[in-house]
Structure 1
Amino acid sequence: MKVILRLLIFSCLFNSLYAQNETNITYGLKFGGLHSKISNLPASIKGRDNTFDNSTMENQGVYGLEGGFFLNLKLYDTRVAIQPEILFRQSGEKVTYQDALGKKFDLGLHYSYLQIGALYKVYPYEGLNLGAGAFYGINLSPNNVTYTSNEANGMYDVATRQFYIDGLEGADDFALCFALGYELHKSIHFDMRYYLGVKDMVKSHASSFQFIENQNKSSVFCFSLGYSFHQW
């Protein structure tokens, strides 16, 4: 219901801006690469399981892709624009574990999101622009977990992976976005962004691993290239 409400607000905003600034609308596609992390994941996984004593567990982050469709609505006679976007994103986290007995494993959370949001952009000089906004990410793959270990040559990897699937579930994400970009005269755009998650994006369920529920928030750096099909 909340998602539907957000879509309705998004639609009303677009219709209002379109009616007032029809000649100042551009649209296009963008595609880029990113590096993402999820905070506090080792603490959630260690939980109250004593088998993790004398061990190290570190966040490594994962690389992913982001791309989709955007509209750029330049407000009349200003250097300001509103840019709604619908994007597909691959992001998540990888955690590496090692203990004093030599056991090692890699745990990966690989989520796909449908991102819906918008940026408020200011153009201080020609195509140079600064932006800030917010994006809501609908998690399309909440149980996409990978697990590999050196324990018994990986004999128990499938069963252990299922424990993590049952105990850790990806949730929707909501993040603030800060952007720096430049738009060339030939419709090509360059864009650097930082997404700062503000909600818990991993739900912990009861399992034999005794996970601890805490705030696991996303952090994403992204660089993308875009192309507009109309000029202002």
Structure 2
Amino acid sequence: MKAILYLLIFSFFFTIVLHSQNETNITYGLKLGGLHSKISHLPESIKGRDNTYSHSVLKSEGAYGMEAGFFINCKLNDTRVAIQPEILIRQSSETINYSDTTGKTFELGLKYSYLQLGALYKIYPFEGLNLGFGAFYGINLSPNHISYASNEADGIYDVATRQFYQDGLDGADDFALCISLGYELRKSIHFDLRYYLGVKDVVKSNASSFQFIENQNKSSVISFSIGYSFHQW
């Protein structure tokens, strides 16, 4: 089912690109950027009903990642607004650090990758300066990509513990609202600063010996990217 969805989406974008060859109000190009992401309430979910965490600290650190993709900017005739659909590949992760009074430490990483599909409604108040509002749906491509590293017994239990987390936590698709601030130079270079606020649970807990509890674990992402348009207005 997802393969059919991908095919339809890419066909739609390809059709617009072909059409844009003869339209002066449509541009398209590529973008690449860095980001910092977080997933809310993960320490509470991981602690769950396990009393062994009562004398410990679990801290959410967030994680850095990258995103890259393709965009089409469709400027509405005789206006200062545009619609910009996008397809992006994004690394959107979270890191949890643990420490306790016995000196034990571990780092748990949820290393998710997403296929992001969405669009922005962009307003141009002055030349290339623009403000954008939109929404993106993220298809989780790596729902069980979890890392685990500890100082316990020189890490000999790390592989088994990581498997417990992989069995107990499932990454889910994401849906996020987006606001952006950008500037487009006359020579096709674009700069874009964005904030994505997730509105759905992106981590599902399963029955396991860790006794995780189900929470509303929502994503938040700050990104900065540089884009290049191959076809100018």
Q: Which residue of 1 aligns with 2:220?
A: 219
C-alpha distance in 2 between matches for 1:213 and 1:123: 42
C-alpha distance in structure 2 between counterparts of 1:80 and 1:67, whole Å: 24
Distance 1:223 1:192 in 2: 5
Q: TM-score, normalised by structure 1?
A: 0.93
Tell me how far apart the structure 2 counterparts of residues 4 and 130 of structure 1 sit (CA, whole Å): 33
* Equivalent AA in structure 1 for residue 193 of structure 2: M
How many Å apart are 1:227 and its aligned residue? 0.3
Name the count of aligned residue pairs: 229
CA contact (8 A) 2:24 2:232 kept: no
In structure 2, runs of 5+ residues without a counterpart are none
| Amino acid paired to 2:28 | Y
1:138 aligned to 2:135?
no
Residue 175 of structure 2 corresponds to residue 155 of structure 1: no
Corresponding residue SS for 2:24: helix
- Structure 1 position 61 matched with structure 2 position 62: yes
**Secondary structure, counterpart of 1:22 in structure 2:** coil
Superposed CA offset, 1:53-103 (max 9, x none) = 111100001100001000000001100000000000001100000111111
Alignment map for 1:32-181 (pairs within 5 Å): 32-181=33-182
Task: Name the SS of the counterpart of 2:49 in structure 1.
Answer: coil
The separation in 2 between residues aligned to 1:108 and 1:4, in whole angstroms, is: 31
Structure 1 pair 146/102, CA: closer, same or farther in 2 (3 Å)? same
> For residues 89 and 39 of structure 1, what CA distance do their matches in structure 2 show?
18
Per-residue deviation, 1:23: 2.8
CA shift in 2, pair 1:88/1:12, >3 Å: closer
Change (3 A) 1:120 1:13: farther
Q: Offset at 1:11?
A: 7.8
- Name the TM-score, length of structure 2 as normaliser: 0.92
Identical pairs, percent:
76
1:64 partner letter: G
The whole-number CA distance in structure 2 between the counterparts of 1:227 and 1:76 is 22
| Cα displacement (A) at 1:2 | 9.1
Residues 182-202 of structure 1: CA deviation (Å, up to 9, x unaligned): 000000000000000000000
What's 1:184 paired with? 185
Look up the SS of the partner of 1:152 in the other structure: helix
SS of residue paired to 2:166: helix
Q: Note the C-alpha offset of 1:231.
A: 1.2
**CA RMSD after TM alignment:** 2.2
Q: Secondary structure at the match of 1:158?
A: helix
- Which aligned runs of 4 or more in structure 1 are off by greater than 6 angstroms? 1-15
Q: Where does residue 200 of structure 1 map in the other structure?
A: 201
Q: Give the secondary structure class of the aligned counterpart of 2:154.
A: helix
Contact 2:130 2:181 in 1 (8 A): yes
Give the C-alpha shift of residue 105 in structure 1: 0.4
Q: Secondary structure at the match of 1:29?
A: strand
Which secondary structure does the structure 2 equivalent of 1:23 belong to? coil
For residue 22 of structure 1, report the CA deviation from its aligned partner.
3.3
Partner secondary structure for residue 189 of structure 1: strand
Q: Secondary structure at the match of 2:147?
A: strand
Q: Report the Cα offset of residue 50 of structure 1.
A: 1.0
In structure 2, C-alpha distance between the alignment counterparts of 1:3 and 1:93, rounded to whole Å: 27
Provide the secondary structure at the position in 2 that maps to 1:122: strand
What is the distance in 1 between the residues matched to 2:75 and 2:147?
A: 44
